[in-house]
Structure 1
Amino acid sequence: MPTVHPVATPPAPGDPSRPAVGAATALLDAYRPGDHFLATPTRTLLADGVRAAVAPGDAPLPERVRAALAGAAHDGDLWPVVLGAIPFDPEEPAALVVPERVRSGPPLRTDPLVALEPAAAAPAGWEVAAVPEPEVYAKGVAAAVERMRRGEFGKVVLARSLELLSPGPLDLPSMLQRLARRDPDGYTFALPTGPGRTLLGASPELLVSRRGNRFTANPLAGSTPRSADLAEDVLRAATLLRSEKDLHEHGVVVDAVRAAMAPYCSELHVPERPTLVRTATMWHLSTTVTGVPADPDASALDVACALHPTPAVCGTPTGIARRVIRQTEPFDRGFFTGMVGWQDASGDGEWVVTIRCAEAEGRRLRLFAGAGVVGTSDPEAETAETAAKFRTFLQAVGAEL
């Protein structure tokens, strides 16, 4: 059965060799709109109520989170934890709370019941509008490529969105079920971000975690769509591993992660070459970076804020890439390409890059997808990549481009 906190010690992350049948999926089944749900490869969390919100202020966000956790501990919470979302623009307010109650279970991937197929998405008669239209997005990519070829900057991540309108109420629990069961090895979330608003998604990318005396980051950059044909799928994966364009894009991100983590680590290990990770819809180049904290008080969020935004979601140099994003994208990213996660009073936690996601409000869903653009990018290929990334959420709601 799931564990209900407060408790004297944090929840065990679970033993993959001895799956607790039904413990994780019970939390998934119990989710209701307004709850905080987060499933990671180490645990499944379901929280309700608000003991304290992390309020805006002049102090850095990690300090405000520490204060909120300390206050909850002082009030008798034996395992206070912060859960929620942080926007792409770190100057904008975060949606972070210390919940009244946290139920904790093992990872979804260790629960055999996660393999059961969820109910298929019923036809909803969605109205779908692209913002911007694919042709306009491709022109924005082409303009950015031309500027990079003139030497103005090195990389920018450009996004587009889809606005979906349903004829009836949104069934958020069913959407979450389909997202979680399709990619149980990833990071699935459903988090309130404001009155009547929910951020849902299934991200493949860990920004950074801390567990005891170890930091771990897993930057992803360089992608290609999966294929239903096995031979073609393997070929695409092998081609991605040899792609000069994608290897360059990935290397830029890994170098930035190394530079941001180095001040926080007494030891840092960065593999020389990337490997591959896969989701249900995409192949990604992946590098797992690990480090030993130089300061035992440095939290997962301290390092996450130093990393955010990485070139994987923004570009390089960061300041110029931000300006290009503002000039090109006809919408506010909000929490897209921010981070979602949890952290406890010891500083342990997991912060995840907010991609493959949507914002739900009323009868509307707003989906997001982006692509890394470098000097050798092809506008049509980058547009196709964003279309492939939309598939994660479109399949969860039964909609099509």
Structure 2
Amino acid sequence: MTTVHQTLTTEESGADVVGTATALLDAYRPATDRFFASPTRTLLARGVRAPVPHDARPLTERVQDALTAARASGQPDPVVIGAIPFDQSAPAALAVPEQLHRAPALGRDPLIALPAPQPADTAWEMRPVPAPEQYEAAVATAVGRIKAGELGKVVLARALDLTGDREPDVPGMLQRLARRDARGYTFAIPTNAGRTLLGASPELLVSRSGSALVANPLAGSTPRSGDLAEDVRRAAALLESPKDLHEHALVVNAIRATLAPYCTDLVVPERPTLVKTAAMWHLSTTLTGTLPAQSVSALELACALHPTPAVCGEPTARARNVIGELEPFDRGLYSGVVGWGDADGDGEWVVTIRCAEADRSGLRLFAGAGVVASSDPVAETAETSAKFRTFLDAVGAQL
């Protein structure tokens, strides 16, 4: 692992060296490693120095105790890395690693442009949960309840179970996800019972660097097109869509209300812009703020924000009740939070979407759509199908 240790030195010096970030991607090993890449850095964590336990204390307190214990045991700059579930009261998959290797962002490494290995020829069997027609019925039910005034928005998700004739190639999937959207957020986190959470999220929940805060909610989406003219038309239509602008405004307003009390100033653009991934266009707003000195940590901010209306709905409590009634599965870590935080309070926490959980028998993919009064059940089902594309492409499968 000489190369990996060289990347640690390189990242700390601020220099870019060809191959430093992709070396960490290549070095990833399932089950024992945690991988996280963002537009600012690439992290490869190995082993566990201090696990974050599950008990009655607040999660932020448990994380801080684990970081303090790691520093007391000889780690000068401990970091916690992992995932928090949709239901914050459920067990998290967080740990302070034994070793942490760092590099610049994957998007700054020229070698990320090299093609990823092609997926093995696998005979995938797919089972949607629920079936598309049942999902459409659930969306129609939610629309009726929204029109009746019960709530303003709810995000309904569905899953897609894949089983094949071979064990999923987790490192290969991670390579393809990272190289497809190198400027997004790519992650692979071991969870429990031999499972791995991996994905490529486009959405930053919140980051903190010193006193600087950034949040980048996404809400309102449309599938990309392979035809350039049609792709541009779809992007322009999304920017003017009353339904999507309303859905987006609900999320931005909720995040503004949550973050404002923590900030000495908070800048919120008046209109959203567009962010694209390989599969989707999204409405995007970047909020920037300044925190008082020695203020809240990135993880505390993430826990205060989560779940936002982008993955749950509005008002939150009612949306969660509707999700519990209409979704036929436990979300687990899907639509939770994944990322890292250090003992000084800095960190990056992103929304756990465009993801799957893998084990030796197969994969469970997740996708959701925001439902408001003007939602069309057929269109929302098509949107979730388009969101599945991120992962289906990574495994060489098609709906």
Q: TM-score, normalised to structure 1's length?
A: 0.96
What letter matches 1:27 in structure 2? L
Shift of 1:58: 2.2
Aligned with 2:20 (options 10, 23, 28) = 23
Partner of 2:341: 343
CA RMSD of aligned residues (A): 1.5
Shift of 1:14: 4.6
In the alignment, the residues of structure 2 paired with residue 295 and residue 92 of structure 1 have an alpha-carbon distance, to the nearest angstrom, of: 32
Q: Are 1:2 and 1:24, in contact at CA under 8 Å, matched by a contact in 2?
A: no
In the alignment, the residues of structure 1 paired with residue 87 and residue 205 of structure 2 have an alpha-carbon distance, to the nearest angstrom, of: 16
Shift of 1:166: 1.5
What letter matches 1:260 in structure 2? T
SS at match of 1:194: coil
SS at match of 2:363: strand
Q: Deviations over 1:297-325 (max 9, x none)?
A: 31000100000000000000101100100
Shift of 1:195: 2.8
- Aligned structure 1 segments of 4 or more residues deviating by more than 3 angstroms: 1-7, 10-15
What letter matches 1:160 in structure 2? R
In the alignment, the residues of structure 2 paired with residue 75 and residue 185 of structure 1 have an alpha-carbon distance, to the nearest angstrom, of: 35
Is there any run of 5+ residues in structure 2 with no aligned partner, and where?
none
Aligned with 1:152 (options 136, 150, 153) = 150
Q: Are 2:211 and 2:293, in contact at CA under 8 Å, matched by a contact in 1?
A: no
Q: Are 1:188 and 1:201, in contact at CA under 8 Å, matched by a contact in 2?
A: yes
Question: Between Structure 1 and Structure 2, how many residues are aligned?
Answer: 396
Q: Are 1:13 and 1:106, in contact at CA under 8 Å, matched by a contact in 2?
A: no
In the alignment, the residues of structure 1 paired with residue 377 and residue 190 of structure 2 have an alpha-carbon distance, to the nearest angstrom, of: 35
Is there any run of 5+ residues in structure 1 with no aligned partner, and where?
none
In the alignment, the residues of structure 2 paired with residue 279 and residue 97 of structure 1 have an alpha-carbon distance, to the nearest angstrom, of: 30
The percentage of aligned residue pairs carrying the same residue is: 64
Change (3 A) 1:271 1:13: farther
What letter matches 1:341 in structure 2? G
What letter matches 1:31 in structure 2? Y
Q: Deviations over 1:44-71 (max 9, x none)?
A: 0011110011111222111111111111
Alignment of 1:72-151 (within 5 A): 72-151=70-149
In the alignment, the residues of structure 2 paired with residue 208 and residue 134 of structure 1 have an alpha-carbon distance, to the nearest angstrom, of: 33
What letter matches 1:328 in structure 2? L
Q: TM-score, normalised to structure 2's length?
A: 0.97
What letter matches 1:164 in structure 2? L
In the alignment, the residues of structure 1 paired with residue 168 and residue 309 of structure 2 have an alpha-carbon distance, to the nearest angstrom, of: 34
Q: Deviations over 1:357-378 (max 9, x none)?
A: 0001122100000000000000
What letter matches 1:125 in structure 2? A
Q: Deviations over 1:200-235 (max 9, x none)?
A: 100000000001110100000000000000010011
Range with greater deviation from structure 2 (292-301 or 370-379): 292-301
SS at match of 1:380: helix
Change (3 A) 1:257 1:14: farther
